[in-house]
Amino acid sequence: RRSHPLSMPLMPLLRRLPAAALQLRFLQLPQAAPAVAASARHQRKSLSTSATTGPSAQPTSPAGLQATVDVDSRVLTLHGAAADDQAGVATLNFPLAWLRDNCRCSLCHNSNSDSRQLLMNDFDPTAALTEATVEAGQLQLLWADGHRGCYPLDWLRARHFTEDGQVPPDLRLSKSIPRLWRDWPFRPDFLDGQAVMSDDAALLELLQRLELDGLVLLDNFGTDEDSLSRLCHRVAYPRRTHYGVIFRVESKPGPSNLAYTTGRLGFHTDLPYFEHQPDIQLLHCIRQTRTVPGGENSFADGFSAAELLRDRRPEQFHLLATALTNFRDRNSDDLDKFHLLQRHPVLELGRGGQVRRIHLSNQQRDSVLRLPLGRVQAYYEALKEFNDLLYDPGHSLQLRLKDGQLAVFENGRVLHSRTAYQGERLFMGAYLSWDETLSRRRVLQGL
């Protein structure tokens, strides 16, 4: 691609002169010829700026403001339009197709639903531009078909393109990068459950910690069996599964799930036999068994353990990240009879190679294991090694929740286990999804 050398130094005029009305006028392009027509290739339009004569126009200093369009690459470049805080940004580049696609006029963009109204059927990715004007903080475009578009410059500044990609949006929009437990090390304190229910700042703290640490503990949450549902609805709504909307974790006759016995459970994630295993789990201790010891919960940062495995046994890490494990649940519960099946890698990697979700449940791992004969022994040794690493005290902890305490944890990151117990014990359980939970956090932050 050809570069766009700046003919004049960066002049961030527009931010300093909000009332200024500047006009950048292009040479008129032939209306009938699309901008990429062969005859127009390798032609570049370069224009100087001029102040408008409208009544609201202030005296301006247009020197340095310049717009060009590269007809070959179909990119419009604004020179001197960067904001004061965009140090090092000499030019703002916008593909013409993107500009047409993201026209902010009331025909193309519905402000009630804040969504694009322009249909793809009516969109021409090769639409030619006739004229560009900057006036009162808006870029206004006239397209060859007569359509007029407008774009607030502040809105454009946050979306300009570089050779590497569009500028990143506000980082707070994304899920936070996990703080691995062994790196600091992590030892949780308790947040106040009543504050979380009544104070938005306390709820925001819970959600932010959950993103970072994968585990948040609450006390002073009471022992009302309905409180957990209220907390879920304060965030968004619980994710229903075949075990119900809110489920009772207690010893049951003819248990449909090993969690509903008094037996010991090893470190596991819940419900890995879903295509999308529950993201977040909440366990509310209504009544802890009075028989000591017994009923203790342990939590382990599986991301931390996985990174240890990646360091120490890269071939085992690779195996668990690529081999598919079958998970299965076939029984009866809230959803009458069910038979759920899915295959996942134990370590699901994101596009950047980071571990983004763990699927592991010894009790729900299927006897179906579709690996070649020669890989089975190595697979089991990797499973065993990862399980051993989970118990490393650098990223695991045991605690005995008391009546009125609550654990909220990222199911696909922080694996949980339970010691066997005797006596009466009741926890209420529920699931949340990241999508709605992150949505709630963004709204609390005013994003």
24-32, 281-289, 395-403, 435-443 -> range binding its own copies (CB under 8 A): 435-443
Query: With binding defined as CB under 8 A, does residue 89 bind its own copies?
Result: no
Distance from C-alpha of 300 to C-alpha of 240, rounded to nearest angstrom: 25
Query: With binding defined as CB under 8 A, does residue 3 bind its own copies?
Result: no
Q: Which residue in 5, 119, 146, 184 binds its own copies (CB under 8 A)?
A: 119
Q: Which is nearer to its own copies, 60 or 316 (CB)?
A: 316
From residue 225 to residue 264, what is the string marking binding to its own copies with x (rule CB under 8 A)?
-----------xx-xx-x-----------xxxxx-xx-xx
Residue 165: CB minimum distance to its own copies, A: 5
Query: With binding defined as CB under 8 A, does residue 45 bind its own copies?
Result: no
Residue 272: CB minimum distance to its own copies, A: 11
Q: Which is nearer to its own copies, 53 or 113 (CB)?
A: 113
Residue 364: CB minimum distance to its own copies, A: 6
Residue 328: CB minimum distance to its own copies, A: 8
Q: Which residue in 177, 201, 292, 447 binds its own copies (CB under 8 A)?
A: 447
How far the first Cα of the chain sits from its last, in Å, is 36
Distance from C-alpha of 167 to C-alpha of 61, rounded to nearest angstrom: 28
List own/partner pairs for 422-426 with CB under 8 A and 24 or more apart.
Answer: 422/262, 422/289, 422/291, 422/294, 423/289, 423/290, 423/291, 423/294, 424/250, 424/287, 424/289, 424/290, 425/250, 425/251, 425/262, 425/287, 425/288, 425/289, 425/295, 426/248, 426/249, 426/250, 426/286, 426/287
Q: Which of residues 12-31 bind its own copies (CB under 8 A)?
A: none
Distance from C-alpha of 108 to C-alpha of 148, rounded to nearest angstrom: 10
Q: Which of residues 337-376 bind its own copies (CB under 8 A)?
A: 337-342, 362-365, 367-374, 376
From residue 281 to residue 320, what is the string marking binding to its own copies with x (rule CB under 8 A)?
----------------------------------------
Binding-site residue total for its own copies (CB under 8 A)?
A: 98
Q: Which residue in 52, 102, 223, 419 binds its own copies (CB under 8 A)?
A: 102
Q: Which residue in 211, 307, 329, 410 binds its own copies (CB under 8 A)?
A: 329
139-147, 167-175, 195-203, 405-413 -> range binding its own copies (CB under 8 A): 167-175
Q: Which residue in 84, 114, 189, 315 binds its own copies (CB under 8 A)?
A: 114
Query: With binding defined as CB under 8 A, does residue 128 bind its own copies?
Result: no
Distance from C-alpha of 438 to C-alpha of 447, rounded to nearest angstrom: 11
Residue 62: CB minimum distance to its own copies, A: 26
Residue 183: CB minimum distance to its own copies, A: 25
Q: Which of residues 175-234 bind its own copies (CB under 8 A)?
A: none
Q: Which is nearer to its own copies, 45 or 74 (CB)?
A: 74
Q: Which is nearer to its own copies, 230 or 370 (CB)?
A: 370
CB within 8 Å of 92: residues ≥ 6 apart: 77, 78, 81, 82, 156, 157, 160
Residue 428: CB minimum distance to its own copies, A: 19
Query: With binding defined as CB under 8 A, does residue 112 bind its own copies?
Result: yes
Query: With binding defined as CB under 8 A, does residue 106 bind its own copies?
Result: no
Q: Which of residues 257-276 bind its own copies (CB under 8 A)?
A: 257-258, 260-261, 263-264, 266-267, 273-276
Query: What amino acid is encoded at 251 in this protein?
Result: S
Q: Which residues pair with 217 in a beta bridge?
A: 190, 407
Quote the tokens at residue 347. Answer: 């370590």
Query: Quick check: 413 and 348 in contact, CB under 8 A?
Result: no
Q: Which residues of 405-438 are buried (b: 16+ CB within 10 A; e: fewer)?
A: bbbbbbbbbbbbbbbebeeebbbbbbbbbbebbb
Q: Which is nearer to its own copies, 223 or 256 (CB)?
A: 256
